[in-house]
Structure 1
């Protein structure tokens, strides 16, 4: 709740926030999947959502539209009950919307022929996506979670529109593909890149990182962060530390306590109580003193990526991190962990060509030698320079998209006009 309130503090004062009452999930088993838990919490909040919409109507200020994300997609039915348009806010890559259209039919075909999906599928822009790079739940074909995803992927067609946090120039082929598939699909509106800004409290909390960056040469620091919940195994944590040490490059590393599963900390961060610095190899801080800064659990990512000393970013390939690195023109080492991140890594390396991707060994670990090599390739090699040049063009396109006459500005204005007309 604290993190949510921190985010809300950055919203304009013209936006009112309503907190729906907490719901109980005590009846669920202790080992329930995080995404299933989230879905249940949202569904059980629907009665309170109906009460809120009813109150607005009774006050003479009825809602003009309802915007939901994928986990709350059944709220589309609530919008219909109240006679208001429903929009899906798609917070990850537009390319996944293409999967929403393609995969249900492919899975039906495979099921009818009693075979597994083995061959890569081709995404818009001739990007080949292998089944092992599908979002996690898509490969668990016999699970209830997979059935839920397939349901969501069909349900989104009932929305009046899809708002995506991307921009036309970034995923042009995906937008073209979705437009070609209409009618039968809702219109898609790119309104990004929407990235958050640090609150005053966060800026103060991150002052140590900024002060350290101020003393480093331009474009010399590799930022290493796996997002707000991404974690590594103990073995992988150790290999990353030794790889950074071997590279000889400057780095700013946000460390989190190791976990057995990469996704364990996303919805369960409260359970991590160990000091992550305790897991560092012996004398690591001593050996890297002066060229490395290690911070526990959190860093002001926007301030770091926008800083002139930052020259590279090791990322878990979360969509928000991708957009932030794009806006600030920071080249990437793609290290996907879970969810849709492997698909994002394919898009970065094969589509945009703005990242170098790590490769796990037969034990699922990225070794220290490879880490050291990739870091040096990105930070001081010609490959890294080529990526920077490509990112420079994408960065300019991102700025234009949000300009007064930009594609994202026009798309958002069109959506708002539709909401006004629906009253």
Structure 2
């Protein structure tokens, strides 16, 4: 309408992977639908994930722009984080030119943890620079406060395996630590330190958690300036979660039709995220564990990678026939013996729809934070099986602090044995020991729902972010 004032515009930059893409899309949609902003989502994608492509092709109120990148010069055997960082860096010139061409300029650029170098681009172009951490607040505390850690404490953690002490937060045991400290490589430390310092240059940090989920850690982060962190810039923290994708009740698929035929809360779902893979021996043990548990199951399976758990990040979503899996990697006769109670899906399944289905009670998960939140918001108890990145921290948080999961433990050469899998699956699905866990996750489902509805703690927190963007834009553009 003539004379109508234009809406404040925000740009978002997300790295490859469903674990980041899903919450970023949800954030962008909420800013548009609930907080009267315009949003453009810049995506650095791999082009190899059918799940990612499907998600991006759905109708959206958000303007989605794919940024060019190149993997041709990268070592395919390089650590996944190095590959993602290289892709992000290669996309920055295109990001800069795309934003510079927008008139009026967006008020803010919101990046993920792999996009923190782009904060300088935001500030250079006269925008707020915000970070959306698609992690829990406990991991954020390690990243945000890292510049203040004494080298002696980090060394004691890495070399002596002493707990990493974070004042005001639960210490991080070495067995639950992040890969940065496990790898013990100088270049990794340098990269993590640079990222941590860049966090301190942000105008705000958004976190995919909520006040009642991590009250102690969020309190410590808000009081960092009073706890003696002299090397840390005080940056406002905004808990805005849980931001997850809702299942689509109209979606039709083989797995959902199968679930429709099962009794309520009778199925355990098994999946290791968009990049999680197991070794061949571990796939065999998992198959036997599920069979021995005598529980109904849906299992999203991928081919083994080498001899240990790793990330098949750039092949997620490419499938093949179930007969292929049965003949290559599953125990002889497994499919036939379990055909009445189990369903094996190659490569990818509609996770949000599966977890929200009435027949699903439990989830064997790699503990990616996005998957963990999807389980909580659907009231589904978990069996934790962390594989890489910060997933062991997530597993400790889910089991010991939140009380919504049980944890699998490996023996010998790092293989989780079938009896352990059987025991923990039974505990979550039918055991008296699991009753408290099942009740607790349903309580947190209600808590998370209240947090993101109008008037809830996370809704109000995101409203403050939107207001800051709007005020900044008006001042910058001469509104007042």
State TM-score, norm by structure 1: 0.92
Counterpart in the other structure of 1:244? 290
Counterpart in the other structure of 1:262? 309
Q: 1:111 to 1:168 in 2, by over 3 A?
A: closer
Q: Residue 382 of structure 1 is aligned with which of 432, 440, 459?
A: 432
- Structure 1 position 28, deviation (Å): 3.3
SS at match of 1:307: coil
- Structure 1 position 272, deviation (Å): 8.3
Counterpart in the other structure of 1:7? 55
Please tell me whether the aligned partners of residues 140 and 146 of structure 1 are also in contact (alpha carbons under 8 angstroms): no
- Structure 1 position 262, deviation (Å): 2.3
- Structure 1 position 16, deviation (Å): 1.2
SS at match of 1:151: helix
- Structure 1 position 45, deviation (Å): 1.4
Post-superposition, which runs of at least 4 consecutive aligned residues in structure 1 deviate over 6 A? 111-115, 270-274
Counterpart in the other structure of 1:48? 94
SS at match of 1:375: helix
Could you report, residue by residue, the CA deviation over 1:189-215 in whole angstroms, capped at 9, with x for unpaired residues?
1111111245699x23xx211111112
Please tell me whether the aligned partners of residues 87 and 162 of structure 1 are also in contact (alpha carbons under 8 angstroms): yes
Alignment of 1:35-74 (within 5 A): 35-56=81-102, 60-74=103-117
Q: Residue 377 of structure 2 is aligned with which of 313, 327, 335?
A: 327
Could you report, residue by residue, the CA deviation over 1:301-323 in whole angstroms, capped at 9, with x for unpaired residues?
11111111111110000101110
Q: Residue 262 of structure 2 is aligned with which of 205, 211, 216?
A: 216
Does residue 123 of structure 2 align to residue 80 of structure 1? yes
Does residue 76 of structure 2 align to residue 26 of structure 1? no
In structure 1, stretches of 5+ residues that fail to align are: none
CA distance in 2: counterparts of 1:282 and 1:357, whole angstroms: 28
Please tell me whether the aligned partners of residues 258 and 276 of structure 1 are also in contact (alpha carbons under 8 angstroms): no
Could you report, residue by residue, the CA deviation over 1:307-365 in whole angstroms, capped at 9, with x for unpaired residues?
11111110000101110111011001001011110010000111101110000102100
Alignment of 1:15-414 (within 5 A): 15-20=62-67, 22-56=68-102, 60-106=103-149, 108-110=151-153, 116-122=159-165, 127-182=170-225, 184-197=233-246, 203-204=251-252, 207-260=253-306, 261-269=308-316, 275-278=324-327, 279-414=329-464
SS at match of 1:70: coil
Could you report, residue by residue, the CA deviation over 1:203-242 in whole angstroms, capped at 9, with x for unpaired residues?
23xx211111112111111111111121110000000001
State TM-score, norm by structure 2: 0.81
CA distance in 1: counterparts of 2:416 and 2:410, whole angstroms: 5
Please tell me whether the aligned partners of residues 331 and 391 of structure 1 are also in contact (alpha carbons under 8 angstroms): yes
- Structure 1 position 85, deviation (Å): 0.7
Could you report, residue by residue, the CA deviation over 1:93-114 in whole angstroms, capped at 9, with x for unpaired residues?
1111111244444462257899
Aligned length: 415
Could you report, residue by residue, the CA deviation over 1:128-180 in whole angstroms, capped at 9, with x for unpaired residues?
42123111123223242332112111220110001111111111111101001
Please tell me whether the aligned partners of residues 249 and 353 of structure 2 are also in contact (alpha carbons under 8 angstroms): no
SS at match of 2:65: coil
Please tell me whether the aligned partners of residues 95 and 123 of structure 1 are also in contact (alpha carbons under 8 angstroms): no
Please tell me whether the aligned partners of residues 317 and 348 of structure 2 are also in contact (alpha carbons under 8 angstroms): no
Q: 1:303 to 1:271 in 2, by over 3 A?
A: closer
Counterpart in the other structure of 1:417? 467
Please tell me whether the aligned partners of residues 277 and 296 of structure 1 are also in contact (alpha carbons under 8 angstroms): no
Please tell me whether the aligned partners of residues 375 and 381 of structure 2 are also in contact (alpha carbons under 8 angstroms): yes
In structure 2, stretches of 5+ residues that fail to align are: 1-46, 227-232, 474-480
SS at match of 1:356: strand
Q: 1:241 to 1:160 in 2, by over 3 A?
A: same
